[in-house]
Amino acid sequence: MDYTIVGLAAALLTSFSGLPQLIKIIKNKHTKDISLDMYIMMCLGILLWLIYGILKKDIALIIANIITIIISGTILGMKLKYK
């Protein structure tokens, strides 16, 4: 079995998992039900995973976490903006 395919599928699913939430926020500009603390912790964790991927020179980790930090960081920014 090729484990790379499983890893790439997992990376795509988790990286884009915040996209439905982001689209919903963009449409209705409502973030009341989103936890600020959770998104701060999430973005910090993603940033650390990105740094880890860079240090390990693991392109899959780097790409997945760049995508995820863009989506989660945008949600965090919108949470702060529409608070």
Percentage of residues of the chain with pLDDT beyond 70: 99
Q: What is the pLDDT of residues 33-64, one digit of tens each?
A: 999 999 999 999 999 999 999 999 998 899 99
Question: What is the spatial distance between Cα 32 and Cα 36, in angstroms, rounded to a whole number?
Answer: 9
17: region left, alpha or beta (phi > 0 left; psi from -120 to 50 alpha): alpha
Ordered by where they begin, the domains of the chain are 3-81 (1.20.1280.290)
**Is the pLDDT score of 6 beyond 90?**
no
Burial class (CB in 10 A: 0-12, 13-18, 19+), 65: buried
Name the one residue in this structure whose structure tokens are 């989103």: 34
